[in-house]
Every structure is written in structure tokens, then in C-alpha cells.
């Protein structure tokens, strides 16, 4: 898969960072010495961590060269390493493991969560829980209805699914002394279907677009825009409302 596009991803920086800010606000007051930011992306969450915990040693991990280059320039007090979070294992126990919209990319993220608990004292994780929202359902529908179907249907079927709240609670209760789980549905007013496309072009649409030729991508995106326009009604001020559920976890070992 081609590298992430940080400029495209951060076009909606305020909206994307809001969840990281909300997650950080629920982490109990303490003074961590070591912090790892898993899937740090362009460093917007790392920047919040550095401002909140200025004395901590902070390491951001990501697998995208583009994202890491932006993060390094953005947060000069942190260290950044290219690392697949699925296989990451710290040399020593970590005071705080932070992950904002990263764990959902790991197919077996349930196992990853349990493994992360064994590494930490405190943990704060957030995952988008929008796989059933119209924005993603329409991606799968367009993927299944076109000359690309044989290539894209397997991709649609392998999108990591987010489990039920009680499933995660039972999983973590066996290994954590304290668990705080909640879900927030953010409502993002966007300028129209094109803005919804721009939002997901830097994230959820990538696996579907990657196998397509330039011509096929243009047709796919045209169909996706048309479906979005029919499914997201315009508000009186011309905006469309993008629902974006996110699932939060704050845990203690």
C-alpha cells in the first residue's frame, strides 16, 4: 500500500484531534516518566502529550515515513521510530501507552490490547467505531457493485470489526485493575459530499482505492460521491452532518 498522505489526513486536524484531547482529559492525574504514542501519525496527539507531560520521555511510533517526517518536525522534544504497532514490544515497562485511532488497523486488536496491558501502568486508547455508519457502508456497496468487485469484495470483508462494549470489558477485566470504557458520537458539519470524501480519502478509502487503476479510481469516487449526496441530506445552511462514533478506553494494570 502507498504511504499515508499527512496533508490530506490533517485537512480536518481540529476534528481528528478532538478525540485525542477528550481521551487525554480522562487519564488520571499522575507524572509518567515514559510515554509511547502508538500510531502517532503526524504528531497531533504527541503534541498534546508533550504539552501535558513536559518532563516525560515520549516516543511516537508509526509505520508511515510521511507521517513520521511531519511528526518529527512538529514535536521536536519527542523521539519518533518507524515501527509496526502489532509487533512492538518495549524493553521495559511503560508508564503510559497512548493510542488515538490506531489499534483498529490491527486485525487481531483484541489480542493486542491484552498484550499492551502487560507492558503498562496506565493506558489510553481510542478507536473509531464507524464501520456500520453510512460513510463506510457506502464504500462497501460501491466496492461490491462494479468491474472491480472481485478485487475489492475481499478487502471489504477483511476490514477490522469493532466489538461490543461488554466484549471489550470482559476482555480487559481479566487483566486490568481499573477500566473506563465509553463511546462518543461526534457530529461533524462538513461542506458537502466532497468534504466527506476528502475526510476518508486519507483513511478509510485507502484500501479500496489502492488496487484500482487511475481511471477506475475516478469512476469509483464518482459513484461514492453520488451515493453520499443521496444519503447525507443538506442542512438549511448547506452543510451535511457526518456521524463519527468513537470508542474510548482508559485502563490501569
pLDDT digits (tens, 9 = 90+) for 162-203: 778 889 999 999 999 889 999 999 999 999 999 999 999 878
pLDDT single digits (tens) 236-252: 999 999 999 999 999 98
Query: Mean per-residue pLDDT for 26-48?
Result: 93
Residue 3's pLDDT band (boundaries 50, 70, 90)?
low
Look up the pTM and report it: 0.88
In the numeric block, the cell 523521539 is attached to: 79
* DSSP of 70-120: HHHHH-TTSEEEE--TTT---SS-EEEEEEES-GGGSTTHHHHHHHHHHHE
- Contact present, 123 and 249 (Cβ < 8 Å): yes
Residue carrying C-alpha cell 502508538? 38
CA 201 to chain centre: 13
Query: Is residue 159 over pLDDT 80?
Result: no
Residue 220: the pLDDT is 97
* Per-residue pLDDT at 2: 59
Nearest one of 63, 62, 15, 24 to 43, comparing CA atoms: 62
**Domains, the chain, with CATH or none:** 6-252 (3.40.50.150)
Is a pLDDT exceeding 90 seen at residue 214? yes
Amino acid at each position: 500500500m502507498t504511504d499515508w498522505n499527512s496533508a490530506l489526513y490533517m485537512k480536518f486536524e481540529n476534528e481528528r484531534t478532538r478525540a485525542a484531547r477528550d481521551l487525554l482529559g480522562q487519564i488520571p492525574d499522575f507524572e509518567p516518566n515514559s510515554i509511547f504514542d502508538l500510531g502517532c501519525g503526524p504528531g497531533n496527539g504527541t503534541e498534546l502529550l508533550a504539552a501535558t507531560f513536559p518532563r516525560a520521555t515520549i516516543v511516537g511510533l508509526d509505520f508511515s515515513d510521511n507521517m513520521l517526517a511531519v511528526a518529527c518536525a512538529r514535536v521536536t522534544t519527542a523521539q519518533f521510530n518507524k515501527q509496526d504497532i502489532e509487533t512492538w514490544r518495549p524493553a521495559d515497562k511503560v508508564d503510559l501507552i497512548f493510542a488515538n485511532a490506531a489499534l483498529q488497523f490491527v486485525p487481531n486488536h483484541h489480542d493486542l490490547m491484552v498484550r499492551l496491558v502487560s507492558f503498562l501502568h496506565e493506558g489510553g486508547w481510542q478507536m473509531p467505531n464507524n464501520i456500520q455508519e453510512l460513510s463506510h457502508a457506502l464504500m462497501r456497496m460501491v466496492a461490491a457493485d462494479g468491474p472491480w468487485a472481485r478485487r475489492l469484495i475481499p478487502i471489504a470483508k477483511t476490514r477490522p470489526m469493532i466489538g461490543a462494549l461488554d466484549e471489550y470489558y470482559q476482555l480487559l477485566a481479566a487483566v486490568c485493575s481499573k477500566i473506563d470504557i465509553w463511546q462518543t458520537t461526534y457530529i461533524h458539519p462538513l461542506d458537502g459530499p466532497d468534504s466527506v470524501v476528502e475526510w476518508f480519502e486519507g483513511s478509510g478509502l485507502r484500501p479500496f482505492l489502492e488496487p484500482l487503476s487511475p481511471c477506475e479510481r475516478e469512476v469509483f469516487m464518482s459513484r461514492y460521491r453520488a451515493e453520499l449526496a443521496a444519503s447525507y441530506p443538506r442542512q438549511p445552511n448547506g452543510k451535511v452532518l457526518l456521524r463519527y462514533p468513537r470508542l474510548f478506553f482508559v485502563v490501569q494494570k
